[in-house]
Amino acid sequence: DAGVTQSPTHLIKTRGQQVTLRCSPKSGHDTVSWYQQALGQGPQFIFQYYEEEERQRGNFPDRFSGHQFPNYSSELNVNALLLGDSALYLCASSSYSSNQPQHFGDGTRLSIL
Amino acid sequence: AQSVTQPDIHITVSEGASLELRCNYSYGATPYLFWYVQSPGQGLQLLLKYFSGDTLVQGIKGFEAEFKRSQSSFNLRKPSVHWSDAAEYFCAVGVRNTGFQKLVFGTGTRLLVSP
């Protein structure tokens, strides 16, 4: 039973570029959440997708956008990258109909030069 | 606003000694509480959760946590620490909104285990 998978593992970009991160949820899960974890900090909620719609959003600018596909997988897009966007981006999946906790992937380490 | 406080940034424990990591939360409704562990370069692994019922919850790897509503606390404990327990530990509260839940995390406690 595959857990949450994220790609790529690492990514290096320069300021001003755009990036797309990908996430496949755990089998049986239909809800995907994205978190940003800066170095030495706890994860911060970015947004959450269910039935291909954004359902909740944290305090992140519009440069951060996302998408969910019919197979429940999801993408996180960040435009006009800033140095401060350097972080570990974590994807978590869960089931809307279940009260069970979110399962996390190993994350994508994004470095901005 | 919802928040989680983990007052200890670092804790060093001798192998075989007991462990307690502190967590305080701020949330107006009945909280859903979690402890996650993160090894270097890895994602988050769920140790245990509290939704309702018995205030002492058991988790994986010999961890337990006690929910104390009067103190707004959810401290994590382990009676005997192993060297493999060295990692970063995060406490989180689940915030529900229109049927959806997001997690609000503390800043984490780094556990160091000395021989």
Distance from CA of A52 to the nearest CA of B (A): 14
> By the 8 A CB rule, do B48 and B60 touch?
yes
Q: How far is it, in rounded angstroms, from Cα B11 to Cα A109?
A: 26
Strands (E), A14-68: 19-24, 31-37, 44-50, 53-57, 64-68
Which structural domain range is residue B18 located in? 3-114
Please determine, for residue A92, whether its predicted confidence score (pLDDT) is greater than 90: yes
- CATH number reported for the structural domain that contains residue A62 in this entry: 2.60.40.10
Average pLDDT over residues B44-58: 93
**Interface of chain A toward chain B, CB-CB under 8 angstroms:** 4, 31, 33, 35, 40-45, 48, 50, 55-56, 58, 90, 92, 94, 96, 99, 101-107, 109
Q: Tokens in use for B88?
A: 């970063």
Residue range(s) defining the domain that contains residue A82:
5-112
Q: Please determine, for residue B26, whether its predicted confidence score (pLDDT) is greater than 70.
A: yes
Residues of chain A positioned with their CB less than 8 A from the CB of B94: 101
pLDDT of residue A113 exceeding 80 = yes
**Does B49 touch chain A if contact means CB atoms closer than 8 Å?**
yes
Q: Between the CA atoms of B32, B3, A107 and A94, what dihedral angle is there, to the nearest 10 degrees?
A: 30
Mean pLDDT, range A54-78, rounded to an integer: 97
Which CATH number characterizes residue B19's domain?
2.60.40.10
Contact B105 A92 (CB under 8 A): no
Q: Structurally, how many domains does chain A consist of?
A: 1
In sequence order, the 6+-apart residues with CB closer than 8 A to the CB of B74 are: B23, B24, B25, B31, B33, B35, B50, B65, B66, B67, B68, B91
Cβ contact B82:B29 at 8 Å: no
The residue of A89, A102, A106 whose CB has the most chain B CBs within 10 angstroms, and thus the best one to mutate to test that interface, is A102
Number of structural domains (chain B) is: 1
